[in-house]
Amino acid sequence: MKKSTHIKLTCLFVLATALVKAQNVTNVKLTNPDDAPIISKHIYGHFAEHLGRCIYGGFYVGEDSDIPNTNGVRNDVIKALKELKVPNLRWPGGCFADTYHWRDGIGPKEDRPEMVNRWWGGVTEDNSFGTHDFLNLCEVLEAEPYLAANVGSSTVQEFTEYIQYVTHPDGSPMADLRKKNGREKPWSIGFWGVGNEMWGCGGNMTPEYYANIYRQYATFMSDWTNSHGMYRVASGANVADYHWTEVLMREIPKSLIEGVALHSYSFVTWSKKGSATGFNEAQYFSTMETALKMDELIKKHTEIMDKYDPEHKVDLIVDEWGGWYEVEEGTNPGFLYQQNTMRDAMIAGTTLNIFNNWAHRVKMANLAQTINVLQAVILTEDEKMLLTPTYHVMKMYNVHHDAKLLPVEFESPKYEFEGKSLPSISISASKDKNNVVHISLVNIDASKENTVELDVEALGFKKAEGQILVSKKLQDHNTFDNPKNIVPELFKDFKIKKGKLSVTLPPFSVVVLESK
């Protein structure tokens, strides 16, 4: 071969390699419009239902427990949730809410009646964790209470007396009862859910019937503290039931509603959810397919809301979301106890990015659930406790709380599997009150790394530091014997040059970058 030919071929090879590499880089445009919405911290809310070992054995071990506690609530749980900066906590359900009668959970614990939890395992509960316990816990956590009130098996009178009990300052029968039970001042209640899943366990109602029931209950709701007004959330649609949202938005006067809910879970298939840890790539791909559908759900429900509420007076509240799999072997099927892997980190990262990017309409969301149930952030076993990959993602992302959204535009590369494809990259960004920029990135591809290049020159992004959550296998998880198998690490695989931030994301990883 002639020398000149060899040089030409070498040059062509180098050029081809450079072109391929360029094609593998995803270019991302960040903007900073003056009218961009604030990402509400309440998007990062949590959910604590009387289900399995979420309350009893999770949060609450009782005042006499050998496990260190404050008024019966585990100290290690309190510490972990305070570090997570939990903005709001939803209680007591879920399906449990529409069978719960609040008077059973007040007064001396030894005098409280027992009840059967008909929805979750048929176990008998002693009501030792009630309203005072929950609202006092929220004060300790500095979290807004989100009370899901009983509409399915209660009355308007019982509901309004509950509101009076917790919020009326004095001079009323319910305020006097609260004081008798040891609480002088009323609590400040952030949010009220007017029933739960009224299309299912809340009563199998039609949307037309529930809309009228809602109007009745909402009419009699009064916030006696007058601290920030009554925030009423209607029981919203199940996944893609757009007719439900249509009816509620059409039939409920805007003077009676502040939020409408949406519930959607991620799974392999509803009938065969598969193992939380023993899944294959096909099951992983299917789960991520349902998780990423959240963007479409919000878009279509929002379009309906915009038609009836162009001024955006009513918020979309995704108060149940997360991964749902088969329970761990040997556990009560009614307790919904499952492990938490890097797959769940992918669900958390992508879903939170979706919520952030819909911040103009999504104002609150609640991961299901906090401890020992579904996609939990904490697992407990007697005196032991561990933090899950989902916990670490939510903690990495809490930099977005109440920060201004920086909209992103890009065309994601594809994660391809068996002839199907999904967008592999998910991104959201914000600027906080100190003008610090945070960018959260997720690569869901099970085997390929992806490089993204962000134009950050206009944002004054000169230096950065980062964290990454990643592991060797999608099935990796934390155990009580190895609780720090998966933890955030320092991330350095990025560079900033001439206003361009180039980031290389390993397979199934979550990265958060901060400007310096």
Q: Of 206, 195, 208, give the one whose Cα is nearest residue 154.
A: 195
Q: Could you please report the per-residue DSSP string of 249-318? A: HHHS-GGG-SEEEEEEEE-S-SS----SSS--HHHHHHHHHHHHHHHHHHHHHHHHHHHH-TT--SEEEE
Beta-bridge partner residues of 503: 452, 494
Catalytic residue, chosen from 320, 383, 453, 489, is: 320
Give the three-state DSSP class for 493: coil
Give CA–CA dist 373/338, Å, rounded: 7
Residue 475 structure tokens: 């099935």
**Cα separations in angstroms, 329 against 183, 233, 273, 284:** 43, 36, 14, 20
- Count of C-beta atoms within a 10 Å radius of residue 5: 9
Element (H, E) at 24: none
Helix, strand, coil % over all residues of the chain, rounded to 5: 30, 25, 40
Q: Is 251 a catalytic residue?
A: no
CB within 8 Å of 155: residues ≥ 6 apart: none
**Cα separations in angstroms, 149 against 88, 146, 217, 406, 417:** 16, 9, 10, 36, 44
N-to-C CA span, the chain: 53
Q: Is 320 a catalytic residue?
A: yes
Q: Of 224, 232, 225, give the one whose Cα is nearest residue 248.
A: 232
Give CA–CA dist 452/26, Å, rounded: 4
Give CA–CA dist 320/312, Å, rounded: 22
Catalytic residue, chosen from 161, 197, 258, 453, is: 197
Q: Which residues are catalytic?
A: 197, 320
